[in-house]
Structure 1
Amino acid sequence: MSIPAAFDYHPAKSVDEAIALLQQYGDEAKVLAGGHSLLPTMKLRLAQPTHLVDLGRISGLSYIKEEGGAIAVGALTTYNTLEHSELLRRHYAIFAEGIAQIGDQQVRNRGTIGGSVAHSDPAGDMPGIVLALKADILVQGPGGVRTIKIDDFFTGMFETALHPDEIITEIRFPMPAARTGSAYTKLANKASHYAIVGCAAVIALGNDGVCTAASVVTTGASIKATRDSGVESALVGKKLDEAAIASAAEHAAEGLELVEDIHGSKAYRAEMAKVLTRRAILKALEHI
């Protein structure tokens, strides 16, 4: 099936109008940003909203700026804009490297950071990147603006802590400490470019070369992007030579609810998580 079910289209002209439409139609509505995540699922009828609220005409939600000790990114900022941002390149190599692996140029021109994060596709790349960077998600609804910590945001496959009448307006990334590197690696499906397994890593070193902080996330292997706390604990306090990294990577995917499909068994994904975690950590260290 390649034709979506029938729906009514509502182009919102402001955040308030979008929220009002979501209040009016409730669970029957879905939010459309760039469409690269939602529309394919609608064509497969995995999602069948009867009302589509389009945010594309809302001004003021596409920006990248340094503000209050953080990097603030508007929810409608496209992948292409993120990939080529000098501010992001200067502080987080993971954006340019990770986004270059997302889809093709058409997808990167249309897809938005807010849309991908809200969609919470377990095989998506952006959820893993924002989780590894410990972002804050700013959302707006009838009650005003609230902040959701990224560790509380992804709740399951295509599920988040967003209320049905809320939209993401901004994503805020903390400025990295000195001597911090980041990277994203993945084993991609050749047709869709989605992650069969992926790993996002953010590593900080002290002046003595000892790891002072580590944030490591696995994508594609489970029902949602998931922090690998076992890997993180194994890295912090260690000098990261090849042996220490290999030992830490053995903890990848521990305790995850692994998925299985035609692209890979649970055992295969578990092994690939270890391989990609090691590669992501090594690549992150190259960016310090």
Structure 2
Amino acid sequence: MKPPPFTYCDPESVDEAVALKSEFGVGALVLAGGQSLLPMLSMRLVRPRALIDINKIGDLQRIEHRDGVLEVGAGVRQYELEDHTTVGALVPLLPEAAGCVGHIETRHRGTVGGSLAHADPAAELPCTAVALHAVLVVQGRSGTRALAAQDFFRGRLTTALEPDEVLVAVRYPVPPPTAGHGFVEVARRAGDLALAGAAAVVDLDGDGRIAAASVGALGIADTPVRAAEVENALIGEAPAEETIARAAQRIVPSVTSQDDLHATLAYRRHLAPVVVRRAVAAAVAHAREMRNGT
């Protein structure tokens, strides 16, 4: 099929993009990488009045580190999270998760902001945003505002963006250098959307106990899930296998996805604690390596 007719707009600044969003309102869609949007257009699942192409906006393609925060522009390509030296050194969970996004060809076009704004609950980057306590920066007619990742995702393919707003950047607090990370997902084939997945960041204290833990899960609900109950069960504990496994079971009540063509609710309830356990165990192993300087 062919896309429906629309007005094509090619702004060169964020202010211009915001003005266009204000002009067309809910009838405007933003084109970044187009890896999700273009197939939806071709199948006429969406019928925008206007398509706002943000690829010329250089301000959206920056990666900067300052004051303990890694800021990634919404227009940064997903493969850059894998290849960028600063990203890998400061927030190593990002390149590990980004490597699971689709295929290398799609990651060379897909953008960080595009994945976040699309808000697919089975996608990797929304999950890592939640697990890393990221802040999403959006700009509209009234100015700029910052939203915690957990508040940005409102439902399946639904976000807190207002009709006149554009996502401009995501800010990741840099974890302590002693923290370890883990990312695990299960999919039918490499590159497919995950049936379930988990991201974890863990820091250990001098006695080897879990001093801090942050866990996110994907593919199990209408939004990426912050696994607070799992975190609470881990903090202060020695990271033995049985302790991690017992804590991982606390994710089960958060599994609310209904049966679909890919998996049943019962299977995802079985799978969710498995991926959480593996992600936390990987994060603990990395944290021990960091503590031991290996």
User: What TM-score do the two structures reach when normalised by structure 1?
Assistant: 0.95
What is the deviation of 1:40?
2.6
Which amino acid letter does the alignment assign opposite residue 153 of structure 2? F
Give 2:141's aligned residue.
Answer: 142
Give 1:47's aligned residue.
Answer: 46
- Provide the C-alpha distance between the structure 1 equivalents of 2:40 and 2:185, rounded to a whole number of angstroms: 22
Give 1:180's aligned residue.
Answer: 179
Question: Contact conserved, 1:34 with 1:112, CA < 8 A, in 2?
Answer: yes
Which amino acid letter does the alignment assign opposite residue 52 of structure 2? V
Question: Contact conserved, 2:26 with 2:163, CA < 8 A, in 1?
Answer: yes
With over 3 angstroms needed to count, the CA separation of the structure-2 counterparts of 1:35 and 1:253, relative to structure 1, is farther
Question: Contact conserved, 2:255 with 2:272, CA < 8 A, in 1?
Answer: no
What is the deviation of 1:192?
5.3
- Provide the C-alpha distance between the structure 2 equivalents of 1:21 and 1:284, rounded to a whole number of angstroms: 43
Identity %: 38
Give 1:281's aligned residue.
Answer: 280
Give 2:290's aligned residue.
Answer: none
**TM superposition outliers: structure 1 runs of 4+ over 6 Å:** none
Matching of residue 87 in structure 1 with residue 81 in structure 2: no
Which amino acid letter does the alignment assign opposite residue 88 of structure 1? V
User: What TM-score do the two structures reach when normalised by structure 2?
Assistant: 0.93
Matching of residue 4 in structure 1 with residue 13 in structure 2: no
Gaps of 5+ in 2: 288-294
Secondary structure in 2 aligned to 1:250?
A: helix
With over 3 angstroms needed to count, the CA separation of the structure-2 counterparts of 1:156 and 1:181, relative to structure 1, is same
| Greater helix proportion | 2
Matching of residue 245 in structure 1 with residue 206 in structure 2: no
Which amino acid letter does the alignment assign opposite residue 281 of structure 1? V
Question: Contact conserved, 1:230 with 1:254, CA < 8 A, in 2?
Answer: no
Question: Contact conserved, 1:138 with 1:169, CA < 8 A, in 2?
Answer: yes
Give 1:15's aligned residue.
Answer: 14
- Provide the C-alpha distance between the structure 1 equivalents of 2:256 and 2:2, rounded to a whole number of angstroms: 32
Question: Contact conserved, 1:153 with 1:160, CA < 8 A, in 2?
Answer: yes
What is the deviation of 1:39?
2.0
Secondary structure in 1 aligned to 2:33?
A: coil
- Provide the C-alpha distance between the structure 1 equivalents of 2:2 and 2:246, rounded to a whole number of angstroms: 48
Question: Contact conserved, 2:91 with 2:174, CA < 8 A, in 1?
Answer: no
Give 1:207's aligned residue.
Answer: 206
What is the deviation of 1:189?
4.0
Give 1:71's aligned residue.
Answer: 70
Secondary structure in 1 aligned to 2:162?
A: coil
- Provide the C-alpha distance between the structure 2 equivalents of 1:285 and 1:191, rounded to a whole number of angstroms: 25
Count of residues in Structure 1 that have an aligned counterpart in Structure 2: 287
What is the deviation of 1:250?
0.9
- Provide the C-alpha distance between the structure 1 equivalents of 2:54 and 2:266, rounded to a whole number of angstroms: 40
Matches within 5 A, 1:157-236: 157-190=156-189, 193-236=192-235
Gaps of 5+ in 1: none
- Provide the C-alpha distance between the structure 1 equivalents of 2:117 and 2:89, rounded to a whole number of angstroms: 26
Secondary structure in 1 aligned to 2:93?
A: helix
With over 3 angstroms needed to count, the CA separation of the structure-2 counterparts of 1:155 and 1:49, relative to structure 1, is same
Matches within 5 A, 1:91-130: 91-130=90-129
- Provide the C-alpha distance between the structure 1 equivalents of 2:90 and 2:191, rounded to a whole number of angstroms: 29
Which amino acid letter does the alignment assign opposite residue 16 of structure 2? E
Secondary structure in 1 aligned to 2:251?
A: coil
What is the deviation of 1:15?
0.7
